[in-house]
Amino acid sequence: MPLPDGFLWGASTSAHQTEGGNTNSDWWVMEHGSTGTGHIKEPSGDACDSYHRWREDMDLLAGLGFTDYRFSIEWARIEPAPGEFSRAALDHYRRMVDGARERGLRPMLTLHHFSTPAWFSWGAAESAELFARYVAAAAPVYADGVEHVCTINEPNMIATMAGLIQLLTTGAAMPEAGLPEPDPAVSQTLIDAHRRAVEAVKAHAPHVRTGWTVANQVYQPLPGAEHVAAAYSHPREDLFLQAAADDDWLGVQSYTRTRIGPDGPLPVPPDAERTLTGWEYYPAALGHALRHTAAVVPGVPLIVTENGIATADDTRRVAYTGAALAGMAEAMADGVDVRGYFHWSALDNYEWGTYAPTFGLIHVDRETFARTPKPSAAWLGAIGRTRALPYQP
Ligand code: BGC
């Protein structure tokens, strides 16, 4: 199936997971202190040293055939103290935008990918306003040469993290399966922050197409549990999809599914194949995620901003991604308006507490930072050159 004209074909990374030395961030503090949620096994340290090696990353992606690159800029570097903006950090990210374009990669810029400056909290009253102030200050990075800006990556997971921290601090019981309930106040703040950020971007760069990216869990009800799945999904997912109804595009991020029984989420079946994150190997998730998103917000163009698998066996990555793309092609053939695909991730990187789950198309040596593309990288990048998916729905 030929890719539609202008279809984005890329890979994704985020700043904290790849740059290294993100010492002003809340995550760095959590990695080195006692405020964590107990899931931090190792600190991010130098990560992939992409703060210095971004040119090499981009050379590899462009050489492999990709035409697009999604990366994030780090608020903690740009605004290390409230109201104090680093010209050097802004210049750094501006060079990355220019560097991507020079190599034939269209940059998709994420303004916030989980990490914040250490001084900031989404629980504070003025947080939406503070976020919009940062977004306005970052305008020199995206004012020209950038077509797509993502305001906030996975707001539903940020709100869920806030809910999880509440459970931990109050000593309340953790759910046996599935995710904790997102903090409703943080959810609303994130929606407000997104709206203000969109206004700030459009004020400085009216041509930029703005959106945000939502973690899609593909809640699959057992027969009779449809209403349970709908109630479960609303605060964790659909609320954030609905908030994108007026956006230029919406990012779909899909990895696996969650089955829902009469009492809520069910554990992964014992005989199912699992990936290195413990998630069920379920490549059909992407097609379902696209169809669900299109049903909740019809008319909003969709971009797959993340999809991938943590595995040490690269043949499973090719199998997983191939099946996921077949699901995407079928959804498109059925009329779902998909405008691009970004694989997670370009590099083996810091997976929020550990380096063990490897999502990368490109292996990164943890001692030397040497990059080695895996066979999956050549296979997936080649689709960017042929501009055709190897499937005919
Ligand atoms: C996030 C990434 C993360 C990936 C795999 C998404 O939740 O945006 O930062 O590495 O999924 O867990």
**pLDDT digits 0-9 by tens, 345-361:** 999 999 999 999 999 99
Protein residue with least CA distance to atom 3, ligand 1: 351
Tell me what pLDDT residue 36 has: 59
Q: Does pLDDT of 315 surpass 80?
A: yes
Predicted confidence band of residue 176 (pLDDT cuts 50, 70, 90): confident
Cβ 218 vs Cβ 288: under 8 Å:
yes
Please classify residue 337 by burial: count the beta carbons closer than 10 Å to its beta carbon, then call 0-12 exposed, 13-18 middle and 19+ buried. Answer: middle
CA distance 293 to 252: 8
* Nearest-atom index, ligand 1, CA of 215: 7
Asked if the model's pLDDT at residue 37 lies above 70, the reply is no
C-alpha 289/C-alpha 304 separation (Å) is: 10
* Predicted confidence (pLDDT) at residue 34 exceeds the cutoff of 70: no
Residue the block writes with tokens 């009469």? 262
Is domain 8-384 classified as CATH 3.20.20.80? yes
Q: What is the DSSP letter of 347?
A: B
What is the per-residue pLDDT for 320? 98
Can you tell me the distance from the alpha carbon of 190 to that of 220, in angstroms, rounded to the nearest whole number? 26
The atom of ligand 1 lying closest to the CA of 349 is: 10
What pLDDT, on the 0 to 100 scale, is given for residue 391?
83
pLDDT tens-digit readout, 50-80: 999 999 999 999 999 999 999 999 999 999 9
In this structure, the residues whose C-beta lies within 6 A of any atom of ligand 1 are 14, 17, 153-154, 157, 215, 253, 306, 344, 351
Mean pLDDT of the chain: 97
- pLDDT tier, 160 (very low <50, low <70, confident <90, very high otherwise): very high
Distance between Cα 157 and ligand 1 center (Å): 9
pLDDT at 97 over 90: yes
